[in-house]
Structure 1
Amino acid sequence: MDRTAEKNYNKWIWILSILIPLAVAILFSVRIPGVDRLGFLPPIYASINALTAVLLIAAVVSIKKGNRKRHESLMKTCILLSALFLVMYVAYHMTSDSTAYGGEGAMKYVYFFILITHILLSIGVIPFVLITYVRALNGKFEMHRKIAKITFPIWLYVAITGVIVYLMISPYYPA
């Protein structure tokens, strides 16, 4: 890949890495009138997070066994699932009020620690995922491996904590 194409990819990676969280933040303040609450979505997008975590692990196992094609397919599926999660998450929050965590004591602090780290790392992982993917796409496998060692644990943490946050807050969703 020539230097100009690489600069172009990097420009788009950073634009998307800024626009995605910004769009989510803006859309959180939008309420769609006349649309029934999409209360069925949280368990679906929590399941998507769980599936993403499993597939991320399967992808690492696949590449360690030398199965590049399976690894590539699994990683593309993880990216697709993450995008699907994001669409559902935003749709839910555009049609529903936020649910307050009702736990008390130490569990409240545990919940907020997990939630805050989940949110911050979900924003931070965007450029890592995109850079890792583009490096593989362009055959820069050594550089891909180096950043994947950082991307994988962050992305896995985000996927797993997404499930944990859902499990912790689900008893407080409106009936």
Structure 2
Amino acid sequence: VRIERLLRRGLKKPVRLIGRDIAPPIRNRYRNPRQVGMDRLMNAVAFHRKYRRFGVVIDFGTAVTFDVVTAKGDYLGGVIAPGIEISLSALYQKTALLPRINLVGATRRVAPTPIIGRNTTEAIRAGCSYGIGGLCERIIAEIGKAYRRKPFVVATGGYARYMAGYCRGIDRLEPNLVLEGIRLTAS
């Protein structure tokens, strides 16, 4: 509400909100459609408009979300798991001796970390990176089993390029998918 007020004052134009003033142009099949974040629906809108096929959008942000979209444009739901930031933060906050680390350069594609860390920082980086990569591969496989076909997988979000080195099964990188969904919805 505060941001909306600031925008109205600054732009001196009406502000329309997706979800309140503009309905997302996708069929939301969630049991309680209001529980789905608009970011997830905007990813689904952009995915459907661009690919028009059965698939999964993986958004690598603070959390990792997996959203399933049909070729007809139905948003079916998805999976939410801890992301790399949450994992790194939890290790630091919930253990006595593990250091706080960050993934410098993690927003761009880099060579994968060696699987065996030779110091604590490398071990944490390997555990989080390969752990989340493995989680992604398993979820993609389980979605494929549930729907009896391999989904087309698009990765987006701040850690998408980085995690693409740890998760086999990503077909495309679309770093700004949510923004594309907003553009398509607002136009």
TM-score clears 0.5: no
TM-score (normalizing by structure 1): 0.28
Which of the pair is proportionally richer in helix?
1
TM-score by length of 2: 0.26
Pick 1 or 2: higher relative contact order, CA cutoff 8 A, min separation 6: 1
